[in-house]
Structure 1
Amino acid sequence: MDLRQLKYFVTVARERNFTRAAELLHIAQPPLSRQIQQMEEELGVQLLVRSSRPIRLTDAGRLFYEESQQVLGRVEQMKDAARRVGHGERRVISIGFVASTLYGGLPTVVRRLRQARPEADVRLVEMMSGQQVEGLKNGRIDIGFGRIRTADLSVERQVLREERLVVAIPPGFALAAEDTPLKPAELKGQKLVVYPSEPRPSFADQVLSLLRDHGVRPPEVQEVRELQTALGLVAAETGVCLIPASARLQRSDLKYRLIDDEHATSPIIMSYRRNEDEALIALLKQLIREMYAENPPWLDTSYNRLHSP
């Protein structure tokens, strides 16, 4: 078994279709099918259920797919690192992030990481939480800061804090007349703006699930791609929007009320590959602990539940 065969298998498993995979790999379908069949014969197990449409992975196939992604991603990392050392370039540390983490401590952590590792080129890559898992496995990023919990066993995660959710309300709405925490049931009948519209599942699904748990089904839901757009629509009185507490600092022309529910939180999660660059992970955790100890304004405990790494 060689790396070429692993790449073939990963492409077929991802596309769930031999024809599309062959087109992407620029080879004919029959030799592609033979290569996958040879892998199965070598392993002594079936990886794909070819009779289903689309093609389905067996349990062994799912495991082999996850492991193959890690192997191919690691190979690309090794090649990139060798090229950089050979050309005298600095090591790159790529950090994936969801945009809302910029309103809290991420800029401080990145700034201090650059100070602690001046020899490294620290780069930021905006990507959704689900995309970060794939980015970690294929080597595109080294660290991810997101909001959605995943169950992928190849990725370690640590909840750094849980931000309470607030409702962004147009000043002219009746709900804006009070400052007290708002029970989710009080949102019945309100039009809702959610983000991001894709990819899913996302923070939008978390918000909709929370409201359903309280019997709230908005008469109208408008999905948008970005938080800034969502808040702009709230300012235009399109509806209300649930957001992490730190994002309330983005617009001062709206009313914000805490959601009165202990489960109405959005976690900040640091994710990284298992057994990968333990020194870098330890440094990041130390920088986060130091930042928490300084008690910055956005870390107001009335809006956050802290989990020190």
Structure 2
Amino acid sequence: MELRHLRYFIAVADAGSLTVAAEQKLHTSQPSLSRQIRDLEQEVGVALMNRSVHGVELTPAGKAFLDHARMAIHQAEAAKEAALSAAQPAKPTFALGFLSGAEIDLLPEVDRVLRAAFPGIDIRLSSDYSPALAKALMRRKLDAAFIRREETMGELASRRVRTDPLIFVLPSDHRLASQTAIAPEEVLNEMFYLPSKSAPAVRRIVLEYFNRVGIDLKPEHEVHNVVHAISMITSTRAVMLLPAYTKRYLPETITTRPVMGEAPTLDLVLAYHKANTSPVLKLLLSRVGKLAGTPS
């Protein structure tokens, strides 16, 4: 009994017709297919199908045989895949996370560095909020991630990649847009939005900055991401402090201005679990200095 006999039998059983199976599924002649089915029945020793002008119908023996035939085909295909996999060297895999937006600057160089050293590497990418990426690192679901330094890093270690300044983001026709730089006290009477707790590091830096310059900032509104920020700034003519890299997402109706004086900043780091001994991670950490770039 050969695998082709089993495939022919399954095709006929699924089609309910020798003619349909021959012409549409197996691309062979109907007489040839009938002969293959007869050979199979002779080897099994019982009739597997009843033939009539209306097509074919499986006998009780045929129905029992069909389930085992499907299993045999499946196991044969699995055996082939296992053999092919064993004959090929295992590809290194590396799960890498990016704070949403950071991949635009960093991914091309990261991809080049890793593929040059590990040809065929399977780089599995994810993009999310920094706290979510930190949790994935702690659960060992990621090998490394470009994130903000969270207040609680637990078993995580990190290397600084770059420092991002914060800038004021506001409508292009806002009264403050005519200035080359904006002093913090000038936004006191403006509608001001604060990043929500989904971006705790940015939120913390903004609040610390205003506290440092002696301004008691009590914003009543929050935004959850850059898209939400664009919507609220446009619709309510609000002002925000956001990392400089976000300017690449802004439409023409929104502009940015630097902070007058010493601007608040926050670091982008490459974080990883302290127990991770991956050679891919080791290489990436050794190239952190070359990955840093000024966000445009």
Instruction: Name the TM-score, length of structure 2 as normaliser.
Output: 0.61
- In 2, Cα distance between equivalents of 1:255 and 1:211: 21
* 8 A Cα contact 2:170 2:177, kept in partner: yes
| Structure 2 equivalent of residue 124 of structure 1 | 125
Distance 1:149-1:262 versus aligned 2 partners, 3 A rule: farther
Offset, 1:230: 0.5
Structure index of larger Rg: 2
Report sequence identity in percent: 20
Aligned partner of 2:215 in structure 1 is 216
Letter in 1 for 2:175: A
Q: Which residue in 1 is equivalent to 2:274?
A: 274
Counterpart position of 1:289: 289
Q: Please name the residue that 2:142 is paired with.
A: 141
* Regions of 4+ moved over 6 Å: 85-88
Residue 207 of structure 1 aligns with an amino acid whose one-letter code is V
Instruction: State yes or no: 1:225 paired with 2:228.
Output: no
Q: Which amino acid aligns with 2:192?
A: L
1:91-114 deviation digits (Å, cap 9, x = unpaired) = 331112211313432443235424
Change (3 A) 1:201 1:163: closer
* Secondary structure of residue in 2 paired with 1:269: strand
Q: 8 Å contact 2:194–2:219 — kept in the other structure?
A: no
Structure 1 position 113 matched with structure 2 position 114: yes
Distance 1:87 1:184, change over 3 A: farther
- Partner residue, 2:194: 194
> For residue 228 of structure 1, what is the amino acid of its counterpart?
V
Question: C-alpha distance in 2, partners of 1:125/1:261?
Answer: 36
Shift of 1:218: 4.8
Q: Report the alpha carbon displacement of residue 168 of structure 1 after superposing the two structures with TM.
A: 0.7
Q: Given the superposition, is the C-alpha separation of residues 263 and 87 from structure 1 closer, same or farther in structure 2, using an over 3 Å criterion?
A: farther
**8 A contact 1:158–1:270 mirrored in 2:** yes
Residue 183 (structure 2) pairs with residue 177 (structure 1): no
Residue identity matched to 2:255 = K
- 1:167 partner letter: F
State the Cα deviation string for residues 76-126 of structure 1 (Å, max 9, x = none): xxxxxxxxx879763331112211313432443235424432332111122
- Retained in 1: the 8 A contact 2:95–2:143? yes
- The residue identity in structure 2 corresponding to 1:264 is P
AA matched with 1:223: E
SS at match of 2:247: helix
- After superposition, the Cα gap between the structure-2 partners of 1:91 and 1:148, relative to the gap in structure 1 and judged at 3 Å, is same
- 1 CA distance for matches of 2:199 and 2:251? 29
Label 1:263 to 1:174 Cα distance change in 2 as closer, same or farther (>3 A): closer
Question: How far, CA to CA, are the matches of 1:168 and 1:220 in structure 2?
Answer: 15
- Partners of 2:271 and 2:129 in 1: CA distance: 12
Count of aligned pairs between the two proteins = 210
Residue number in structure 1 paired with 2:206: 207
* 1:69-88 pair list within 5 angstroms: none
1:195-232 CA-partner distances (Å, limit 9, x unpaired): 3x344634223323322333434564322221122123
Separation of aligned partners in 2, 1:124 and 1:98: 11
1:242 paired residue number: 241
Q: Compared with structure 1, are the counterparts of its residues 166 and 131 closer, same or farther at alpha carbon in structure 2 (3 Å cutoff)?
A: same
Secondary structure of the corresponding residue to residue 105 of structure 1 = helix
Unaligned runs of 5+ in 2: 1-84
Q: Secondary structure of 1:272's match?
A: strand
CA distance in 1, matches of 2:251, 2:190: 21
Equivalent AA in structure 2 for residue 121 of structure 1: D
Distance (Å, rounded) in 1 between the aligned partners of 2:171 and 2:104: 21
Deviation at 1:185, TM superposition (A): 2.2
CA separation of 1:255 and 1:127: change in aligned 2, threshold 3 A: closer
